[in-house]
Chains A and B, each alone.
Chain A
Amino acid sequence: MSLDKNLLSKLAVGDKHGEDSPYFDGWKAYDNNPFHPEHNPQGVIQMGLAENQLCSDLIKDWIKANPHASICTAEGIDGFSDIAVFQDYHGLKQFRQAIAAFMERARGGRVRFEEERVVMSGGATGANETLMFCLADRGDAFLVPTPYYAAFDRDLSWRTGVRIIPVECNSSNNFQVTKQALESAYLNAQETGIKIKGLILANPSNPLGTSLGRETLQTLMDFINDKQIHLVCDEIYAATVFAEPGFISVAEMIQEMDHVNRDLIHIVYSLSKDMGLPGFRVGVVYSYNDAVVTCARRMSSFGLVSSQTQSFLAAMLSDQSFVDNFLKEVSKRVAKRHLIFTEGLKEMGVSCLRSNAGLFVLMDLRQMLRDQTFESEMALWRIIIDKVKINISPGSSFHCSEPGWFRVCFANMDEDTLQTALQRMKSFVLRHRENKKKRKSFQENLKLSFSSKMYDEHVRSPRLLSPHSPLVRT
């Protein structure tokens, strides 16, 4: 006879942790049957996790050559006690300096970052939440262009009580956010009495894999300045940009746009994607607003970076030649993977949204949908997980307004596995095409598992509820 659920807070018993989303079903499928080239070659290939595994060799080499960066080696042990007691929420000065320098170099040295404005947080997850706590009250709202990173729903809202108002973008212009879409979303919110405190977006975008052009950035800056609302730019994929127009940070735009109120501008950063170190929990809040810096710094007590990690990174990231080479390689290796994958898909007649950044592509499978609905998207997604054994992420989990788009990650595996994934996709796509042709000619069920009967079964399966997209509901 257990305690009733009323004994926990509303926050705890609600579902705003977001884990009931189908987004996670794919992960579960992977966890239950993970691919391994030797031990489990028929397992599920994980392409739903945006991790960067392309450059760990560079970091390892640096570590081997720099034993002093560890507080546990003979070379570094003298620093052990000082580091172990260091819990000042300003963070180690060398660490802040190294992070500021790294951020500058990731922007080609086109901007300066002041180390006093570098504030730590528990990963970008913590940084985004902290900014919400600083900038908005419970019940206030932030505008977010769709499609957006699935976990924003949890990170921005769960404990803060801040609402997300989606700003719809669509493929007619490659999902670029427009002034009309922003104005329209803002107006709608106002009319329903919702107080908009700001706009938050990721640049480069997850899941689009695109970086914003100068004009769009100008539009955004003018918009928020006009409304005097905040702009939070999550630049977590900054170093993964590999093609035109290159990466233009909001930090650069500030330099160009003098009239914009700097107190409204805040950047979120992390080493989880660019450096592939998600385990180290290195999040950064960088704000041009002094009061926000002070507040975020106080709040960082709830999510400081381990001093052991700060110390290690301070050493590594102040090695300029290492950093410059690393940044060059990240961009190069991501570009290579991107090319292999998109060309491979192109060969089988599958296209992707044209992208120049990120650890993934947005694959266009609209042609393969039974009909242009999210139910069909889910049905297709289920087949890809269960039959093709690849975990990819359906667009609906990113609140995409159009069905048929899927985010596929390509940087969290070796090249052989990528090729295996491409081969599986190829077999699937070709068979699907054949079946479609045959279905047109014959009106009977086929033996192959990609028959329409199987397709219908999936649609009627109780597991396939409509995705929780607010756009679908309206």
Chain B
Amino acid sequence: MGLPLMMERSSNNNNNKVELSRVAVSDTHGEDSPYFAGWKAYDENPYDETHNPSGVIQMGLAENQVSFDLLESYSEKKNPEGSLWGSKGSRGFRENALFQDYHGLKTFRQAMASFMEKIRGGKASFDPDRIVLTAGATAANELLTFILADPNDALLIPTPYYPGFDRDLRWRTGVRIVPIHCDSSNHFQITPEALETAYETARDANIRVRGVLITNPSNPLGATVQKKVLEDLLDFCVRKNIHLISDEIYSGSVFHESEFTSVAEIVENIDDVSVKERVHIVYSLSKDLGLPGFRVGTIYSYNDNVVRTARRMSSFTLVSSQTQHMLASMLSDEEFTEKYIRLNRERLRRRYETIVEGLKKEGIECLKGNAGLFCWMNLGFLLNTKTKEGELELWDVILKELKLNISPGSSCHCSEFGWFRVCFANMSEKTLEIALKRIHEFMDRRRRF
């Protein structure tokens, strides 16, 4: 049986390129967004205090580097890997290296549950057996989507939202996102009207809505969701018989713990199982602890079926047992976690105040925020036209002239133009000052013309 056509070995032959899947060739991976173009500019010309002081300062990456010293001194003193590495570590290492049970290390789950409770000031309790581990919140969000929705169904998400959701929730799952439009007239809070409008939009397009997904505290707003709004949301979900997912990945980054209400607190006081069972929480150590490299995400669900299914599905994305072991040690050290949570909040608050006040001096307002690793800055007054193009034009100027990579609101699907997310926790205080200086010089130049 001869070949119909001689295939060239080189993949440069574009005429007969072998087919990949629809998922593979789609652009739902989202990397063509300006959100990432800025990152590339940074990668090509990264700021460095000594070696490249005129390079691009990365303010588009929501990383928490303000509390590393606490982690490092803990690790060095207590060596949380110690039991695997030292002379006593003989049995420990092998058991740990073999441990691939998708339930996850019990000690680690217990430590996570306890850490999550501390963050909420003990206002909610978490059962370690409801914790499902995944390699990052990225995987947790995708996994929940696979479990709660079928292809072509939709999740309702308030705008503006984390740009990564477009990929994480839609790419391989085939599920859609229908936006719940929020605007500055009420500080971008979700209103019952906006919820209904979004639901009806989906219905009119014959799309089945399976749930609402919120991020609380919000990315990119840097603000917590009010308790009343959470109650309304849960109410809405019950009425429509859909799920509520709360991504609380920034819960430990709220400046004042009392200002954060977790959906867990609301559920804590509810007895009706049919209400509880539609609530699911996503968490991760990437933001609060600044450990995105370790890939530690969790799904916490009040629904037994979801817990069981998520656990099975986590086979595709388990947390390294080496990492589970180290963090179990670290997170069960009560003295350490209390100190860490407290100091981390303080340092983030101070950073926030520094940047917001610095911007205010230049006549730039930010949304009143109380959490997160970024502020939501309003440059609407600087746009040539209040359109997406106008916004991207300004963004480009800021990137090329000021060499600051910040994230345009349109990449977060914001319906108002001129808003930008500015990260402040992924750099030294000195670098933050330099960034503010560049902004000052820019505004100065503009004022003179």
Q: A11 to B86, alpha carbons, bound, how many Å? A: 45
Contact between chains at A309 and B317 (CB < 8 Å): no
Q: A349 to B29, alpha carbons, bound, how many Å? A: 57
A302-336 vs B, CB cutoff 8 Å, 1 = contact: the mask equals 11111111001000000000000000000000000
Tell yes or no: B205 within 8 A of A by CB: no
Distance (Å) between the CB of A415 and the closest chain B CB? 16
Contact between chains at A276 and B98 (CB < 8 Å): yes
Distance (Å) between the CB of B210 and the closest chain A CB? 8
* Chain A residues whose C-beta falls within 8 Å of the C-beta of B81 in the assembled complex: 70-73
* Chain B residues whose C-beta falls within 8 Å of the C-beta of A290 in the assembled complex: 11
Chain B, 270-317, CB within 8 A of any chain A CB? 273-274, 277-278, 286, 290-295, 303, 305-306, 309, 312-313, 315-317
Distance (Å) between the CB of A240 and the closest chain B CB? 16
Q: A70 to B320, alpha carbons, bound, how many Å? A: 14
* Chain A residues whose C-beta falls within 8 Å of the C-beta of B415 in the assembled complex: none
Distance (Å) between the CB of A55 and the closest chain B CB? 10
Q: A11 to B153, alpha carbons, bound, how many Å? A: 13
Stretch in contact with the other chain, from A74-82, A374-382, A452-460: A74-82
Q: A429 to B87, alpha carbons, bound, how many Å? A: 44
Tell yes or no: A291 within 8 A of B by CB: yes
A229-270 vs B, CB cutoff 8 Å, 1 = contact: the mask equals 010000000000000000000000000001111111000000
Contact between chains at A306 and B320 (CB < 8 Å): yes
Stretch in contact with the other chain, from A34-42, A121-129, A383-391, A394-402: A121-129
Name the CB-closest residue of B to A6.
B241
Contact between chains at A64 and B322 (CB < 8 Å): no
Among A19, A228, A306, contact of B319 (Cβ-Cβ < 8 Å): A306
* Chain A residues whose C-beta falls within 8 Å of the C-beta of B153 in the assembled complex: 9
Q: A64 to B87, alpha carbons, bound, how many Å? A: 7
Tell yes or no: B76 within 8 A of A by CB: yes
* Chain B residues whose C-beta falls within 8 Å of the C-beta of A292 in the assembled complex: 20, 24
Tell yes or no: B63 within 8 A of A by CB: yes
Q: A2 to B87, alpha carbons, bound, how many Å? A: 51
Tell yes or no: A347 within 8 A of B by CB: no
Contact between chains at A9 and B149 (CB < 8 Å): yes
Stretch in contact with the other chain, from B65-73, B350-358, B365-373: B65-73
Stretch in contact with the other chain, from A130-138, A213-221, A360-368, A432-440: A130-138
Name the CB-closest residue of B to A283.
B316
Contact between chains at B292 and A85 (CB < 8 Å): yes
Q: A158 to B401, alpha carbons, bound, how many Å? A: 49
Contact between chains at B71 and A80 (CB < 8 Å): yes
Given known pairs A67-B85, A306-B320, the reply for A159 and B24 (CB within 8 Å) is: no
B151-180 vs A, CB cutoff 8 Å, 1 = contact: the mask equals 101000000000000011001100000000
Tell yes or no: B229 within 8 A of A by CB: no
Q: A400 to B290, alpha carbons, bound, how many Å? A: 49
Distance (Å) between the CB of A63 and the closest chain B CB? 6
Stretch in contact with the other chain, from A99-107, A293-301, A464-472: A293-301
Chain A, 130-149, CB within 8 A of any chain B CB? 133-138, 140
Residues of A within 8 A of B (CB): 1-3, 5, 7-13, 17, 19, 51, 53, 56, 59-60, 63-64, 67, 70-74, 77, 80-81, 83-87, 122-123, 125-126, 129, 133-138, 140, 154-155, 158-159, 197, 225-226, 228, 230, 258-264, 272, 276-281, 289-292, 295, 298-299, 301-309, 312
List 18 contacting pairs A-B, 8 Å CB cutoff, sorted by A.
Answer: A1-B273, A9-B147, A11-B146, A72-B82, A81-B65, A84-B68, A85-B292, A86-B292, A86-B293, A126-B316, A134-B20, A226-B1, A277-B97, A280-B321, A290-B11, A292-B24, A308-B322, A308-B326
Given A125-B316, A262-B9, 17 other A-B contacts at CB below 8 A? Answer: A8-B147, A8-B306, A56-B94, A84-B290, A87-B292, A122-B135, A123-B315, A133-B24, A154-B315, A228-B18, A278-B99, A279-B99, A290-B11, A292-B20, A302-B139, A305-B320, A308-B294
